Amino acid sequence: AGAIAKALFPGHQGGGILGTMILGIVGAFVGGSLFSFLTTGTIALTSAGLSLGGILVAVLGAIVALFIYYAVTRRSASY
């Protein structure tokens, strides 16, 4: 999920294989939690599971995690 998100997200992302793996794991939890919130109305820290839908949710969560990470690091780097 992390590798797919890095391929879809515009711009250059560093981090190597370890960063990509961590991004995929974080993305699965972010995506699973967002999916849980949208379907049930409650926030639960869950993973999306290993299915086609779960992979799509994990990729979307990883893209959100990438966006947040780069928004925070760009803001702190400008000071």
Query: 26-35: per-residue pLDDT in tens?
Result: 877 877 777 7
pTM equals 0.65
Q: Which residue has the higher pLDDT, 44 or 65?
A: 65
Encoded amino acid at 3, one letter: A
Question: Where do we find the tokens 């760009």?
Answer: 74
> Does position 75 have pLDDT exceeding 70, yes or no?
no
H or E segment at 63?
helix 52-77
